[in-house]
Structure 1
Amino acid sequence: MYVTAKNNFKNKPLVLQMCVICAHLTQRILTLRFFAGVLTGILFTIIFYHQKESIDKPKFRPDQSKFEYEKNQLPSDQIDRSESSSSSSSIWNSSWDGLKKMSTYPRHLYLIRHGQYFDNAASLNEMKLTILGKEQLKYTGMRLNQMNIQFNRLIHSGMVRAFESATIINEQLDTKLQLIKDTNLTEGLPVAPVPYAGISQRDADAYGDRPRIDTAFATYFHRAHNDQRKETHDIIVFHANILRYFICKIMQFPIQAWLRITLNHGSITQITILSDGSIVMKSVGDSGFIPSNKVTF
Protein backbone atom coordinates (compact mmCIF):
# COMPACT_ATOMS: atom_id res chain seq x y z
CA MET A 1 0.00 0.00 0.00
CA TYR A 2 2.91 2.29 0.79
CA VAL A 3 4.49 1.51 -2.57
CA THR A 4 1.23 2.28 -4.35
CA ALA A 5 0.93 5.64 -2.55
CA LYS A 6 4.55 6.44 -3.44
CA ASN A 7 3.94 5.57 -7.10
CA ASN A 8 0.81 7.66 -7.14
CA PHE A 9 2.83 10.57 -5.79
CA LYS A 10 5.43 10.16 -8.55
CA ASN A 11 2.71 10.04 -11.16
CA LYS A 12 1.37 13.42 -10.04
CA PRO A 13 2.40 16.60 -11.87
CA LEU A 14 5.77 18.11 -10.89
CA VAL A 15 4.17 21.30 -9.64
CA LEU A 16 1.89 19.39 -7.33
CA GLN A 17 4.82 17.31 -6.06
CA MET A 18 6.77 20.49 -5.25
CA CYS A 19 3.77 21.91 -3.37
CA VAL A 20 3.44 18.79 -1.24
CA ILE A 21 7.17 18.78 -0.46
CA CYS A 22 7.05 22.48 0.50
CA ALA A 23 4.05 21.86 2.73
CA HIS A 24 5.88 19.06 4.60
CA LEU A 25 9.00 21.17 5.01
CA THR A 26 6.97 24.13 6.25
CA GLN A 27 5.19 21.93 8.77
CA ARG A 28 8.47 20.58 10.13
CA ILE A 29 10.04 24.06 10.29
CA LEU A 30 7.00 25.44 12.16
CA THR A 31 7.13 22.51 14.57
CA LEU A 32 10.81 23.12 15.27
CA ARG A 33 10.21 26.88 15.73
CA PHE A 34 7.35 26.17 18.11
CA PHE A 35 9.47 23.98 20.38
CA ALA A 36 12.37 26.40 20.12
CA GLY A 37 10.05 29.23 21.16
CA VAL A 38 8.75 27.25 24.12
CA LEU A 39 12.26 26.44 25.33
CA THR A 40 13.36 30.06 24.88
CA GLY A 41 10.34 31.28 26.82
CA ILE A 42 11.06 28.91 29.69
CA LEU A 43 14.70 29.98 29.76
CA PHE A 44 13.88 33.70 29.86
CA THR A 45 11.21 33.13 32.52
CA ILE A 46 13.74 31.40 34.78
CA ILE A 47 16.31 34.19 34.26
CA PHE A 48 13.73 36.95 34.89
CA TYR A 49 12.40 35.22 38.02
CA HIS A 50 15.84 35.00 39.60
CA GLN A 51 16.62 38.61 38.77
CA LYS A 52 13.28 39.80 40.23
CA GLU A 53 13.79 37.71 43.36
CA SER A 54 17.17 39.33 43.97
CA ILE A 55 15.52 42.77 43.76
CA ASP A 56 12.38 42.07 45.74
CA LYS A 57 14.10 40.06 48.46
CA PRO A 58 17.45 41.68 49.15
CA LYS A 59 19.64 39.77 51.50
CA PHE A 60 21.28 41.58 54.37
CA ARG A 61 23.96 40.69 56.84
CA PRO A 62 23.06 39.71 60.43
CA ASP A 63 24.58 42.97 61.65
CA GLN A 64 22.28 45.05 59.49
CA SER A 65 19.20 46.33 61.30
CA LYS A 66 15.66 45.64 60.19
CA PHE A 67 15.20 49.40 60.08
CA GLU A 68 17.79 49.74 57.31
CA TYR A 69 16.09 46.97 55.34
CA GLU A 70 12.66 48.56 55.64
CA LYS A 71 14.03 51.99 54.76
CA ASN A 72 15.32 50.59 51.47
CA GLN A 73 11.81 49.42 50.61
CA LEU A 74 10.42 52.97 50.52
CA PRO A 75 9.24 54.26 47.14
CA SER A 76 11.90 56.37 45.49
CA ASP A 77 9.75 59.49 45.74
CA GLN A 78 9.76 59.16 49.53
CA ILE A 79 13.52 58.94 49.83
CA ASP A 80 15.47 62.15 49.97
CA ARG A 81 17.75 62.10 46.95
CA SER A 82 20.29 64.23 48.75
CA GLU A 83 20.45 61.93 51.79
CA SER A 84 24.04 61.02 51.07
CA SER A 85 25.08 64.65 50.82
CA SER A 86 25.87 66.97 53.70
CA SER A 87 22.59 68.84 53.37
CA SER A 88 19.78 68.08 55.81
CA SER A 89 17.08 65.60 54.79
CA SER A 90 13.72 66.92 53.70
CA ILE A 91 11.96 64.30 55.81
CA TRP A 92 13.67 65.32 59.05
CA ASN A 93 14.10 68.80 60.47
CA SER A 94 17.22 68.58 62.63
CA SER A 95 16.48 72.03 64.09
CA TRP A 96 13.04 71.03 65.34
CA ASP A 97 13.64 72.53 68.80
CA GLY A 98 15.33 75.70 67.52
CA LEU A 99 18.54 74.81 69.35
CA LYS A 100 22.03 73.85 68.33
CA LYS A 101 24.28 71.29 69.98
CA MET A 102 25.29 72.85 73.27
CA SER A 103 26.02 69.76 75.39
CA THR A 104 27.24 66.26 74.68
CA TYR A 105 24.79 64.63 77.07
CA PRO A 106 21.41 63.08 76.13
CA ARG A 107 18.07 63.60 77.82
CA HIS A 108 15.91 60.58 78.68
CA LEU A 109 12.15 60.97 79.11
CA TYR A 110 9.87 58.35 80.70
CA LEU A 111 6.35 59.33 79.72
CA ILE A 112 3.68 57.65 81.85
CA ARG A 113 -0.04 57.53 81.27
CA HIS A 114 -2.01 57.71 84.54
CA GLY A 115 -3.92 54.69 85.82
CA GLN A 116 -7.54 53.74 85.30
CA TYR A 117 -9.88 56.35 86.79
CA PHE A 118 -13.56 57.10 87.31
CA ASP A 119 -14.16 58.68 83.90
CA ASN A 120 -17.90 59.08 84.54
CA ALA A 121 -17.47 61.14 87.71
CA ALA A 122 -19.47 64.37 88.04
CA SER A 123 -16.42 66.67 88.25
CA LEU A 124 -12.74 66.68 87.38
CA ASN A 125 -11.72 66.55 91.05
CA GLU A 126 -13.73 63.37 91.47
CA MET A 127 -12.04 61.64 88.54
CA LYS A 128 -9.68 59.80 90.84
CA LEU A 129 -7.94 56.50 90.32
CA THR A 130 -9.92 53.32 90.76
CA ILE A 131 -8.59 50.51 92.92
CA LEU A 132 -7.34 48.85 89.74
CA GLY A 133 -5.79 52.12 88.58
CA LYS A 134 -3.78 52.40 91.79
CA GLU A 135 -2.64 48.83 91.38
CA GLN A 136 -1.55 49.49 87.81
CA LEU A 137 0.64 52.42 88.85
CA LYS A 138 2.20 50.34 91.60
CA TYR A 139 3.46 47.98 88.89
CA THR A 140 4.64 50.98 86.87
CA GLY A 141 6.62 52.35 89.81
CA MET A 142 8.14 48.95 90.48
CA ARG A 143 9.19 48.67 86.85
CA LEU A 144 10.84 52.09 86.90
CA ASN A 145 12.65 51.23 90.11
CA GLN A 146 13.94 47.99 88.60
CA MET A 147 15.68 49.99 85.87
CA ASN A 148 18.29 51.06 88.45
CA ILE A 149 18.28 54.61 87.11
CA GLN A 150 18.98 57.75 89.09
CA PHE A 151 15.93 59.77 88.08
CA ASN A 152 16.22 63.55 88.22
CA ARG A 153 12.62 64.76 88.21
CA LEU A 154 9.09 63.45 88.67
CA ILE A 155 6.63 65.74 86.93
CA HIS A 156 2.84 65.40 86.76
CA SER A 157 -0.08 67.30 85.29
CA GLY A 158 -2.53 69.36 87.31
CA MET A 159 -5.26 66.71 87.28
CA VAL A 160 -5.94 64.58 90.34
CA ARG A 161 -5.50 61.23 88.58
CA ALA A 162 -2.04 62.25 87.37
CA PHE A 163 -1.05 63.46 90.84
CA GLU A 164 -2.22 60.20 92.40
CA SER A 165 -0.32 58.21 89.77
CA ALA A 166 2.88 60.18 90.36
CA THR A 167 2.54 59.71 94.12
CA ILE A 168 2.21 55.93 93.79
CA ILE A 169 5.21 55.79 91.44
CA ASN A 170 7.28 57.78 93.92
CA GLU A 171 6.39 55.36 96.70
CA GLN A 172 7.96 52.51 94.72
CA LEU A 173 11.27 54.29 94.05
CA ASP A 174 14.18 53.63 96.35
CA THR A 175 15.23 57.25 95.96
CA LYS A 176 12.22 59.50 96.50
CA LEU A 177 11.75 62.54 94.31
CA GLN A 178 10.02 65.86 94.78
CA LEU A 179 6.75 65.97 92.84
CA ILE A 180 6.60 68.82 90.32
CA LYS A 181 3.20 70.02 89.12
CA ASP A 182 2.77 71.46 85.62
CA THR A 183 -0.76 72.52 84.66
CA ASN A 184 0.28 72.82 81.02
CA LEU A 185 0.29 69.02 80.97
CA THR A 186 -3.43 68.90 81.84
CA GLU A 187 -5.50 66.80 79.44
CA GLY A 188 -6.83 68.56 76.37
CA LEU A 189 -7.60 68.40 72.67
CA PRO A 190 -4.59 69.29 70.50
CA VAL A 191 -5.90 69.09 66.92
CA ALA A 192 -8.74 67.39 65.07
CA PRO A 193 -7.70 63.80 64.33
CA VAL A 194 -7.53 62.31 60.85
CA PRO A 195 -9.36 60.19 59.91
CA TYR A 196 -12.45 61.91 61.28
CA ALA A 197 -13.52 60.52 64.65
CA GLY A 198 -16.33 62.85 65.71
CA ILE A 199 -13.99 65.77 66.42
CA SER A 200 -13.84 68.51 63.81
CA GLN A 201 -11.27 71.26 63.50
CA ARG A 202 -13.97 73.68 64.63
CA ASP A 203 -14.30 71.65 67.84
CA ALA A 204 -10.53 71.69 68.27
CA ASP A 205 -10.42 75.46 67.78
CA ALA A 206 -13.30 76.08 70.18
CA TYR A 207 -12.48 73.56 72.93
CA GLY A 208 -8.88 72.59 72.24
CA ASP A 209 -5.81 73.72 74.11
CA ARG A 210 -3.09 73.44 71.50
CA PRO A 211 -1.17 76.61 72.52
CA ARG A 212 -0.96 75.35 76.11
CA ILE A 213 -0.07 71.83 74.99
CA ASP A 214 2.61 73.13 72.61
CA THR A 215 4.06 75.12 75.51
CA ALA A 216 4.35 71.92 77.52
CA PHE A 217 6.01 70.20 74.59
CA ALA A 218 8.60 72.96 74.24
CA THR A 219 9.28 72.78 77.98
CA TYR A 220 10.29 69.13 78.05
CA PHE A 221 11.15 68.14 74.49
CA HIS A 222 14.47 69.70 73.54
CA ARG A 223 18.11 68.75 73.41
CA ALA A 224 20.36 69.40 76.38
CA HIS A 225 21.18 73.00 77.26
CA ASN A 226 24.77 74.11 77.71
CA ASP A 227 24.51 73.89 81.51
CA GLN A 228 23.72 70.15 81.45
CA ARG A 229 26.76 68.26 82.72
CA LYS A 230 25.37 64.71 82.76
CA GLU A 231 22.64 62.50 81.35
CA THR A 232 19.21 63.32 82.73
CA HIS A 233 16.23 61.03 83.38
CA ASP A 234 12.83 62.67 83.83
CA ILE A 235 9.55 60.92 84.64
CA ILE A 236 6.47 62.75 83.35
CA VAL A 237 3.00 61.52 84.34
CA PHE A 238 0.12 62.88 82.31
CA HIS A 239 -2.58 61.95 79.78
CA ALA A 240 -3.15 59.87 76.66
CA ASN A 241 -4.32 62.57 74.26
CA ILE A 242 -1.37 64.83 74.92
CA LEU A 243 1.11 61.96 75.03
CA ARG A 244 -0.06 60.63 71.68
CA TYR A 245 0.18 64.12 70.22
CA PHE A 246 3.70 64.51 71.66
CA ILE A 247 4.76 61.20 70.07
CA CYS A 248 3.66 62.38 66.63
CA LYS A 249 5.23 65.79 67.15
CA ILE A 250 8.62 64.58 68.38
CA MET A 251 8.86 61.93 65.64
CA GLN A 252 7.79 64.53 63.05
CA PHE A 253 4.81 62.44 62.00
CA PRO A 254 1.57 64.17 60.94
CA ILE A 255 0.19 65.51 64.21
CA GLN A 256 -3.37 64.72 63.06
CA ALA A 257 -2.47 61.02 63.45
CA TRP A 258 -2.42 61.17 67.26
CA LEU A 259 -5.71 59.31 67.73
CA ARG A 260 -4.38 56.28 65.83
CA ILE A 261 -2.16 55.43 68.80
CA THR A 262 -3.47 53.48 71.79
CA LEU A 263 -1.77 53.71 75.20
CA ASN A 264 -2.69 51.47 78.12
CA HIS A 265 -3.15 52.86 81.62
CA GLY A 266 0.15 52.98 83.50
CA SER A 267 2.17 52.34 80.33
CA ILE A 268 5.69 53.68 79.79
CA THR A 269 6.89 55.43 76.66
CA GLN A 270 10.65 55.98 76.54
CA ILE A 271 12.19 58.70 74.39
CA THR A 272 15.81 59.78 74.28
CA ILE A 273 16.83 63.13 72.83
CA LEU A 274 20.47 63.09 71.75
CA SER A 275 22.72 66.11 71.89
CA ASP A 276 22.46 66.71 68.13
CA GLY A 277 18.66 66.70 68.25
CA SER A 278 18.24 63.14 66.99
CA ILE A 279 15.41 61.13 68.56
CA VAL A 280 15.46 57.53 69.77
CA MET A 281 12.03 56.03 70.48
CA LYS A 282 12.85 53.12 72.79
CA SER A 283 9.29 52.05 73.56
CA VAL A 284 5.72 53.20 73.04
CA GLY A 285 3.01 52.36 75.56
CA ASP A 286 4.92 49.51 77.18
CA SER A 287 2.70 47.77 79.74
CA GLY A 288 4.20 44.27 79.65
CA PHE A 289 5.10 44.56 83.34
CA ILE A 290 1.40 44.77 84.29
CA PRO A 291 -0.42 41.40 84.58
CA SER A 292 -2.59 40.87 81.52
CA ASN A 293 -5.78 40.63 83.55
CA LYS A 294 -5.11 44.09 84.97
CA VAL A 295 -4.39 45.90 81.69
CA THR A 296 -6.91 48.56 80.59
CA PHE A 297 -6.86 51.45 78.17
Structure 2
Amino acid sequence: MLRINLSNLDKNVKQVSGSKKLIAVVKSNAYGCGAVEISKHLQSIGVEILFVNDVDEALELLENNIKAKIIIHNSLQEQDLFLLKYPNVIATINSLEDAKILSKFKNVTCHIQIDTGMGRLGIKSISEFKNVLDYLHKHKFNINGIYTHFSSANSAHKELEKFKEFAEMESFPIVHCLSSATYNKLDYGNYCRVGLALYDLNQVASVISKPILIKKINKGESISYDSIYTAQDDELICILPIGYGNGYSRKFEGFHIYSQGKFYPIIGRICMNHIFVRIDDSIAMDSIFELTSENLPVNDLASFAKCTKYEIYSNFKFRKVIYK
Protein backbone atom coordinates (compact mmCIF):
# COMPACT_ATOMS: atom_id res chain seq x y z
CA MET A 1 0.00 0.00 0.00
CA LEU A 2 1.14 3.54 -0.75
CA ARG A 3 0.47 6.21 1.86
CA ILE A 4 0.74 9.87 0.83
CA ASN A 5 1.41 12.54 3.45
CA LEU A 6 -0.27 15.69 2.12
CA SER A 7 1.04 17.78 5.02
CA ASN A 8 4.57 17.05 3.85
CA LEU A 9 3.55 18.01 0.32
CA ASP A 10 2.29 21.36 1.66
CA LYS A 11 5.60 21.93 3.47
CA ASN A 12 7.55 21.17 0.31
CA VAL A 13 5.44 23.56 -1.77
CA LYS A 14 6.20 26.38 0.66
CA GLN A 15 9.87 25.50 0.83
CA VAL A 16 10.53 25.41 -2.92
CA SER A 17 8.40 28.39 -3.87
CA GLY A 18 10.18 31.12 -1.94
CA SER A 19 9.81 34.43 -3.77
CA LYS A 20 8.71 32.74 -6.99
CA LYS A 21 5.47 31.14 -8.05
CA LEU A 22 5.40 27.39 -8.54
CA ILE A 23 4.89 25.26 -11.61
CA ALA A 24 4.30 21.81 -10.10
CA VAL A 25 5.60 18.87 -12.11
CA VAL A 26 3.08 16.01 -11.95
CA LYS A 27 4.39 13.90 -14.83
CA SER A 28 4.88 10.14 -14.49
CA ASN A 29 1.83 9.88 -12.23
CA ALA A 30 3.18 12.66 -9.99
CA TYR A 31 6.36 10.66 -9.41
CA GLY A 32 4.33 7.60 -8.49
CA CYS A 33 2.18 9.47 -5.96
CA GLY A 34 -1.00 9.69 -8.07
CA ALA A 35 -1.30 12.55 -10.57
CA VAL A 36 -5.03 13.19 -10.20
CA GLU A 37 -5.19 13.32 -6.40
CA ILE A 38 -1.92 15.22 -6.10
CA SER A 39 -3.09 17.74 -8.72
CA LYS A 40 -6.42 18.21 -6.95
CA HIS A 41 -4.61 18.91 -3.70
CA LEU A 42 -2.08 21.27 -5.28
CA GLN A 43 -4.93 23.12 -6.95
CA SER A 44 -6.75 23.40 -3.60
CA ILE A 45 -3.74 25.07 -1.94
CA GLY A 46 -3.33 27.64 -4.69
CA VAL A 47 -0.93 26.12 -7.23
CA GLU A 48 -2.04 27.57 -10.55
CA ILE A 49 0.16 25.75 -13.10
CA LEU A 50 0.93 22.04 -13.51
CA PHE A 51 3.48 20.45 -15.83
CA VAL A 52 3.00 17.10 -17.57
CA ASN A 53 4.99 15.19 -20.14
CA ASP A 54 2.47 14.26 -22.80
CA VAL A 55 -1.06 14.30 -24.13
CA ASP A 56 -2.23 11.25 -22.19
CA GLU A 57 -1.10 12.74 -18.88
CA ALA A 58 -2.84 16.02 -19.68
CA LEU A 59 -6.03 14.27 -20.72
CA GLU A 60 -6.16 12.31 -17.46
CA LEU A 61 -6.14 15.56 -15.50
CA LEU A 62 -8.65 17.28 -17.77
CA GLU A 63 -11.06 14.36 -17.56
CA ASN A 64 -10.86 14.60 -13.77
CA ASN A 65 -11.89 18.26 -13.75
CA ILE A 66 -8.49 19.81 -13.04
CA LYS A 67 -8.85 23.53 -13.75
CA ALA A 68 -5.26 24.63 -13.13
CA LYS A 69 -3.20 25.52 -16.19
CA ILE A 70 -1.48 22.45 -17.68
CA ILE A 71 1.76 22.80 -19.64
CA ILE A 72 2.42 19.85 -21.96
CA HIS A 73 6.14 19.24 -22.45
CA ASN A 74 6.11 17.14 -25.61
CA SER A 75 5.20 18.65 -28.97
CA LEU A 76 1.57 18.26 -29.98
CA GLN A 77 0.78 16.46 -33.23
CA GLU A 78 -2.18 17.08 -35.50
CA GLN A 79 -4.23 14.34 -33.86
CA ASP A 80 -3.70 16.07 -30.50
CA LEU A 81 -5.15 19.44 -31.45
CA PHE A 82 -8.51 18.61 -29.86
CA LEU A 83 -6.84 19.27 -26.49
CA LEU A 84 -6.57 22.94 -27.36
CA LYS A 85 -10.32 23.32 -26.89
CA TYR A 86 -9.60 23.21 -23.16
CA PRO A 87 -8.82 26.78 -22.04
CA ASN A 88 -6.31 25.65 -19.41
CA VAL A 89 -4.04 23.71 -21.81
CA ILE A 90 -0.68 25.28 -22.66
CA ALA A 91 1.25 23.80 -25.59
CA THR A 92 5.03 23.78 -25.82
CA ILE A 93 6.71 25.05 -28.97
CA ASN A 94 9.88 23.03 -29.53
CA SER A 95 10.41 23.96 -33.19
CA LEU A 96 9.03 26.00 -36.07
CA GLU A 97 7.25 22.86 -37.27
CA ASP A 98 5.38 22.72 -33.95
CA ALA A 99 4.16 26.26 -34.51
CA LYS A 100 2.95 25.43 -38.00
CA ILE A 101 0.96 22.45 -36.73
CA LEU A 102 -0.61 24.45 -33.91
CA SER A 103 -1.49 27.38 -36.20
CA LYS A 104 -4.37 25.25 -37.52
CA PHE A 105 -6.08 26.07 -34.21
CA LYS A 106 -6.98 29.62 -33.18
CA ASN A 107 -5.91 31.45 -30.03
CA VAL A 108 -3.30 28.90 -28.96
CA THR A 109 -1.58 29.58 -25.64
CA CYS A 110 2.01 28.37 -25.70
CA HIS A 111 5.38 28.36 -23.99
CA ILE A 112 8.58 28.20 -26.01
CA GLN A 113 11.23 25.71 -24.90
CA ILE A 114 14.92 26.47 -25.41
CA ASP A 115 17.56 23.74 -25.64
CA THR A 116 20.49 25.10 -23.63
CA GLY A 117 22.43 21.85 -23.45
CA MET A 118 20.09 18.94 -22.78
CA GLY A 119 19.99 18.00 -26.47
CA ARG A 120 16.44 16.74 -26.13
CA LEU A 121 13.61 19.12 -27.02
CA GLY A 122 13.63 22.83 -27.74
CA ILE A 123 15.05 25.53 -29.97
CA LYS A 124 18.85 25.74 -30.09
CA SER A 125 19.78 28.77 -32.20
CA ILE A 126 18.91 32.44 -32.02
CA SER A 127 18.11 32.49 -35.73
CA GLU A 128 15.56 29.67 -35.37
CA PHE A 129 14.14 31.39 -32.30
CA LYS A 130 13.61 34.63 -34.23
CA ASN A 131 11.86 32.74 -37.01
CA VAL A 132 9.60 31.02 -34.48
CA LEU A 133 8.76 34.29 -32.72
CA ASP A 134 7.94 35.99 -36.02
CA TYR A 135 5.66 33.10 -36.97
CA LEU A 136 3.91 33.05 -33.59
CA HIS A 137 3.27 36.79 -33.64
CA LYS A 138 2.06 36.71 -37.24
CA HIS A 139 -0.43 33.94 -36.42
CA LYS A 140 -1.56 35.61 -33.20
CA PHE A 141 -0.44 32.95 -30.72
CA ASN A 142 -0.70 33.83 -27.04
CA ILE A 143 3.00 33.52 -26.15
CA ASN A 144 2.58 33.00 -22.43
CA GLY A 145 6.08 31.88 -21.44
CA ILE A 146 9.56 30.59 -22.14
CA TYR A 147 11.58 27.87 -20.43
CA THR A 148 14.53 25.51 -20.53
CA HIS A 149 15.62 22.32 -18.81
CA PHE A 150 19.23 22.36 -17.62
CA SER A 151 21.18 19.20 -18.36
CA SER A 152 22.76 19.16 -14.89
CA ALA A 153 23.19 21.31 -11.81
CA ASN A 154 26.92 21.50 -12.58
CA SER A 155 26.37 23.16 -15.95
CA ALA A 156 23.36 25.23 -14.90
CA HIS A 157 25.25 28.54 -14.53
CA LYS A 158 26.63 28.27 -18.06
CA GLU A 159 23.30 27.15 -19.51
CA LEU A 160 21.49 29.95 -17.71
CA GLU A 161 23.62 32.54 -19.51
CA LYS A 162 22.63 30.98 -22.82
CA PHE A 163 18.97 30.92 -21.80
CA LYS A 164 19.08 34.62 -20.95
CA GLU A 165 20.01 35.41 -24.56
CA PHE A 166 16.64 34.02 -25.61
CA ALA A 167 14.49 34.99 -22.64
CA GLU A 168 15.51 38.65 -22.77
CA MET A 169 14.80 39.18 -26.46
CA GLU A 170 11.27 40.23 -25.56
CA SER A 171 9.02 40.31 -22.52
CA PHE A 172 7.49 36.94 -21.57
CA PRO A 173 4.79 36.76 -18.87
CA ILE A 174 6.22 33.52 -17.43
CA VAL A 175 9.90 32.56 -17.36
CA HIS A 176 10.89 29.24 -15.78
CA CYS A 177 14.18 27.38 -15.69
CA LEU A 178 14.78 26.58 -12.02
CA SER A 179 14.22 22.97 -10.99
CA SER A 180 14.61 20.73 -7.95
CA ALA A 181 18.37 20.82 -8.43
CA THR A 182 18.67 24.59 -8.91
CA TYR A 183 15.77 26.42 -7.23
CA ASN A 184 17.95 27.20 -4.19
CA LYS A 185 21.18 27.83 -6.14
CA LEU A 186 20.17 30.20 -8.94
CA ASP A 187 17.84 33.17 -9.18
CA TYR A 188 16.23 33.83 -12.54
CA GLY A 189 12.69 34.02 -13.86
CA ASN A 190 9.44 34.53 -11.99
CA TYR A 191 8.46 30.85 -11.66
CA CYS A 192 10.28 27.70 -10.56
CA ARG A 193 9.33 24.38 -12.15
CA VAL A 194 9.86 21.67 -9.56
CA GLY A 195 9.25 17.93 -9.53
CA LEU A 196 11.33 15.68 -7.27
CA ALA A 197 11.71 18.21 -4.45
CA LEU A 198 7.92 18.48 -4.16
CA TYR A 199 7.78 14.83 -3.16
CA ASP A 200 11.15 14.33 -1.49
CA LEU A 201 12.29 17.33 0.61
CA ASN A 202 9.96 16.04 3.30
CA GLN A 203 9.19 12.57 1.97
CA VAL A 204 5.58 12.44 0.84
CA ALA A 205 5.29 8.74 -0.04
CA SER A 206 5.52 5.76 2.29
CA VAL A 207 5.25 2.16 1.14
CA ILE A 208 3.79 -0.01 3.89
CA SER A 209 2.75 -3.64 4.16
CA LYS A 210 1.67 -6.30 6.65
CA PRO A 211 2.67 -9.98 6.65
CA ILE A 212 0.45 -12.49 4.92
CA LEU A 213 2.39 -15.37 6.49
CA ILE A 214 4.81 -15.89 9.37
CA LYS A 215 6.64 -19.20 9.51
CA LYS A 216 9.76 -20.97 10.72
CA ILE A 217 12.36 -22.35 8.35
CA ASN A 218 14.99 -24.87 9.35
CA LYS A 219 18.74 -24.57 9.13
CA GLY A 220 19.82 -25.50 5.60
CA GLU A 221 16.43 -24.72 4.07
CA SER A 222 16.36 -22.42 1.01
CA ILE A 223 13.67 -19.98 -0.08
CA SER A 224 12.46 -18.14 -3.18
CA TYR A 225 13.65 -18.35 -6.78
CA ASP A 226 17.09 -19.80 -7.54
CA SER A 227 17.58 -20.72 -3.85
CA ILE A 228 20.03 -17.86 -3.40
CA TYR A 229 19.28 -17.72 0.34
CA THR A 230 19.86 -20.68 2.64
CA ALA A 231 19.17 -20.41 6.37
CA GLN A 232 22.31 -20.69 8.49
CA ASP A 233 20.22 -21.47 11.58
CA ASP A 234 16.58 -22.15 12.37
CA GLU A 235 14.92 -18.85 11.49
CA LEU A 236 11.62 -17.01 11.69
CA ILE A 237 10.55 -15.30 8.48
CA CYS A 238 7.53 -13.50 7.11
CA ILE A 239 6.22 -12.94 3.62
CA LEU A 240 4.91 -9.54 2.52
CA PRO A 241 2.52 -9.14 -0.45
CA ILE A 242 4.67 -6.72 -2.40
CA GLY A 243 7.33 -7.10 -5.07
CA TYR A 244 8.76 -5.81 -8.31
CA GLY A 245 5.25 -5.77 -9.77
CA ASN A 246 4.66 -2.81 -7.42
CA GLY A 247 7.96 -1.18 -8.35
CA TYR A 248 9.93 -2.70 -5.47
CA SER A 249 12.87 -3.75 -7.62
CA ARG A 250 15.16 -6.75 -7.31
CA LYS A 251 17.90 -4.13 -6.88
CA PHE A 252 16.79 -4.06 -3.22
CA GLU A 253 17.66 -7.70 -2.58
CA GLY A 254 19.84 -7.81 0.52
CA PHE A 255 18.56 -4.47 1.78
CA HIS A 256 16.34 -4.03 4.84
CA ILE A 257 12.92 -2.70 5.82
CA TYR A 258 11.64 -1.05 8.98
CA SER A 259 9.12 -2.03 11.65
CA GLN A 260 8.59 -1.03 15.27
CA GLY A 261 11.93 0.72 15.67
CA LYS A 262 14.03 -2.02 14.06
CA PHE A 263 15.41 -2.88 10.64
CA TYR A 264 14.82 -6.36 9.24
CA PRO A 265 16.75 -7.89 6.31
CA ILE A 266 15.18 -8.86 3.01
CA ILE A 267 16.27 -12.40 2.16
CA GLY A 268 16.14 -14.40 -1.05
CA ARG A 269 14.93 -13.27 -4.44
CA ILE A 270 12.32 -10.54 -4.59
CA CYS A 271 9.31 -11.95 -6.45
CA MET A 272 6.78 -10.12 -8.59
CA ASN A 273 4.27 -10.04 -5.73
CA HIS A 274 6.16 -11.15 -2.60
CA ILE A 275 9.26 -10.51 -0.54
CA PHE A 276 10.79 -12.60 2.26
CA VAL A 277 11.96 -10.95 5.48
CA ARG A 278 13.92 -12.46 8.37
CA ILE A 279 12.21 -11.39 11.59
CA ASP A 280 12.11 -11.99 15.34
CA ASP A 281 9.25 -12.97 17.61
CA SER A 282 8.22 -9.33 18.17
CA ILE A 283 6.62 -9.35 14.70
CA ALA A 284 2.96 -10.36 14.45
CA MET A 285 0.48 -10.59 11.60
CA ASP A 286 -0.71 -7.04 12.31
CA SER A 287 2.80 -5.56 12.38
CA ILE A 288 3.33 -2.76 9.87
CA PHE A 289 6.49 -2.81 7.78
CA GLU A 290 7.78 0.33 6.08
CA LEU A 291 9.63 -0.36 2.83
CA THR A 292 10.27 3.34 2.46
CA SER A 293 9.14 6.17 4.70
CA GLU A 294 10.61 9.02 6.71
CA ASN A 295 12.20 6.25 8.83
CA LEU A 296 13.70 4.66 5.71
CA PRO A 297 14.06 7.38 3.06
CA VAL A 298 14.04 6.78 -0.67
CA ASN A 299 17.54 8.25 -0.66
CA ASP A 300 18.75 5.21 1.32
CA LEU A 301 17.16 2.84 -1.20
CA ALA A 302 18.72 4.75 -4.09
CA SER A 303 22.17 4.64 -2.47
CA PHE A 304 21.90 0.89 -1.90
CA ALA A 305 20.59 0.15 -5.39
CA LYS A 306 22.95 2.62 -7.10
CA CYS A 307 20.09 4.27 -8.95
CA THR A 308 18.36 7.65 -8.84
CA LYS A 309 15.48 8.59 -6.59
CA TYR A 310 13.54 9.46 -9.74
CA GLU A 311 13.61 5.80 -10.80
CA ILE A 312 12.29 4.60 -7.46
CA TYR A 313 9.42 7.08 -7.21
CA SER A 314 8.27 6.73 -10.81
CA ASN A 315 8.18 2.92 -10.57
CA PHE A 316 5.65 2.85 -7.72
CA LYS A 317 2.48 0.97 -8.77
CA PHE A 318 -0.15 0.36 -6.10
CA ARG A 319 -3.87 -0.27 -6.37
CA LYS A 320 -4.43 1.03 -2.86
CA VAL A 321 -3.28 4.57 -2.11
CA ILE A 322 -4.23 6.50 1.02
CA TYR A 323 -4.01 10.30 1.06
CA LYS A 324 -4.02 12.07 4.39
Same fold (TM over 0.5): no
Which has the greater radius of gyration? Answer: 1
Name the structure, 1 or 2, with higher relative contact order (CA <8 Å, separation 6+).
Answer: 1
Higher-strand-fraction structure: 2
